Amino acid sequence: MKRCKKCILPETIPFIEFNEEGICNYCLLEAKQPVVLSGKKAFDEFIDYYRQEKKRRNSKYHCIVPMSGGRDSSYVAWKMAREYGLNVLCVNYANPFTSEQAKINMQKLSEELGVEIVQYRFRPGLHEAGFARNLEIWLQNPSLATVNMLCLPCKPFYWEIFRIARRNRVGLIIDGSNPYEVTSFKNDAVGGFGTKALYSRTAIMNFIKNVLKRSSYITPRNIESMLKVFLVMDGNTPFLHLFYSDIRKTALFYWIPYDEKEIERVLYGELGWEKSKDNESPWRFDCEIDSIKNLCFKRLIDATEKDDLFSRNIRAGLMARDEAMKRIEREGRINLSIVDRVLAKVGKDRSLWGLSKKALYI
């Protein structure tokens, strides 16, 4: 398979083009708009404001960290509690698809840092049913633009997190998202080449058009979730600015650099984390639906979100291309036992795909 000579994006990515030197248009585009971070000094001043704000609000906590059980959110909790000495409240969605290792790691983090983790949950079976239905619809009419429908049931998590923040009089929410995990091929499938944000008008309208084309997606539950997603998105929307003007959401890795080695040192060295036994990838092992999503991506474009993530890391100078090629071999593979486990939870099996192992690209 032909790949970009600078990053590792393969020729199967929609909208990809290569110049004479074999460099892809994604590399050329990003060279024009590099990621700019606000810096540690600015972050320290920002946090100082919220140290005072806690007193003014008479709150028990300085900030909320949305916690998936994955490594980035766990590192943010460590950073804020240990390095900045803040009282952190972690908020976790009791996701029925959270991996066992992620649950164990979360427990360890809570004990080690002495931070509270509050959970919110939906009615039993609701998430499972929504996921199974959206997967079946997707398989009948696979499209890159609607893979995200698999994650719809838990996507509007900021809806809950802002409510919990208000209830606890907390003015600051800090999450662990980073600029390198914005998967271009997912966004571009909805908004066209170079789409920066999924909540641009064009992207939202195209997404709705794609969903409406498959009318089985139109269920009361999906509509409710979609409305909430559009209202809260990543925690920075006009709706939230209006109704929660006293609560600010930010992301640590838009201030300070993302350093994978430092994150691993903290998690495995200080928090006693252990790697997942059956997932080669340390990234997004927390929700096991990720393996199903990547199976869908593999089927359509013979690539996973990791091809994009590693490519962005290469462009940002955080990873060498050789290393990315080695890692994609290992981490780009999908473990079918995870796929089977997820499907079994919703009373399904792999016959849904009606394909052999070979056709699943595994």
Contact flag: residue 251 with Zn ion (CB under 5 A): no
Tell me the Ramachandran region of residue 328: left when phi exceeds 0, alpha when psi lies from -120 to 50, beta otherwise: alpha
CB atoms within 10 A of CB 223: 12
**Least distance to Zn ion from the beta carbon of 6, Å?**
5
Residue nearest to Zn ion (CB): 4
Q: Dig out the tokens for 190 from the structure.
A: 């909805």
**Least distance to Zn ion from the beta carbon of 36, Å?**
20
State how far the Cα of 74 lies from the Cα of 251, in Å rounded to an integer. 13
Return the range that interacts with Zn ion (CB under 5 A); candidates 26-34, 205-213, 255-263, 291-299.
26-34
State how far the Cα of 203 lies from the Cα of 255, in Å rounded to an integer. 26
**Least distance to Zn ion from the beta carbon of 186, Å?**
17
Contact flag: residue 309 with Zn ion (CB under 5 A): no
280 touches 306 (CB < 8 A): no
**Least distance to Zn ion from the beta carbon of 20, Å?**
14
* Closest to Zn ion by CB, 7 or 189: 7
State how far the Cα of 315 lies from the Cα of 321, in Å rounded to an integer. 9
Which of 65, 104, 109 is closest to 87 using CA atoms?
A: 65
State how far the Cα of 346 lies from the Cα of 125, in Å rounded to an integer. 9
Contact flag: residue 24 with Zn ion (CB under 5 A): yes
**Least distance to Zn ion from the beta carbon of 3, Å?**
8
Cα-trace Rg, the chain: 20
Q: Which of 10, 13, 16, 27 binds Zn ion (CB under 5 A)?
A: 27
Return the range that interacts with Zn ion (CB under 5 A); candidates 8-16, 31-39, 57-65, 327-335.
8-16
**Least distance to Zn ion from the beta carbon of 178, Å?**
19
Contact flag: residue 303 with Zn ion (CB under 5 A): no
Contact flag: residue 6 with Zn ion (CB under 5 A): yes
What H or E segment, with its residue span, contains residue 322?
helix 321-331
Residues 117-176 that bind Zn ion (CB under 5 A): none
* Closest to Zn ion by CB, 6 or 228: 6
* Closest to Zn ion by CB, 17 or 262: 17
Contact flag: residue 338 with Zn ion (CB under 5 A): no
Find where tokens 């996701």 sit.
95
Q: Which of 3, 4, 232, 292 binds Zn ion (CB under 5 A)?
A: 4
Find where tokens 């003015």 sit.
171
State how far the Cα of 142 lies from the Cα of 136, in Å rounded to an integer. 10
**Least distance to Zn ion from the beta carbon of 9, Å?**
5
Return the range that interacts with Zn ion (CB under 5 A); candidates 7-15, 129-137, 174-182, 289-297.
7-15
Return the range that interacts with Zn ion (CB under 5 A); candidates 21-29, 127-135, 177-185, 197-205.
21-29
DSSP line for 116-182: EEEEE-PSTTHHHHHHHHHHHHHHHS--GGGGGGGGGGGTTHHHHHHHHHHHTT--EEEE---GGG-
Report how many residues bind Zn ion under the rule CB under 5 A.
Answer: 6
Sheet strands (E) in the chain: 63-66, 88-93, 116-120, 172-175, 248-251
Contact flag: residue 7 with Zn ion (CB under 5 A): yes
Return the range that interacts with Zn ion (CB under 5 A); candidates 20-28, 105-113, 177-185, 251-259.
20-28
* Closest to Zn ion by CB, 23 or 336: 23
Residues 46-65 that bind Zn ion (CB under 5 A): none
**Least distance to Zn ion from the beta carbon of 141, Å?**
30
- Give just the sign of the alpha carbon dihedral 53, 170, 48, 242: negative
**Least distance to Zn ion from the beta carbon of 303, Å?**
13
State how far the Cα of 325 lies from the Cα of 341, in Å rounded to an integer. 28
Question: Which residues are at the interface with Zn ion (CB under 5 A)?
Answer: 4, 6-7, 9, 24, 27
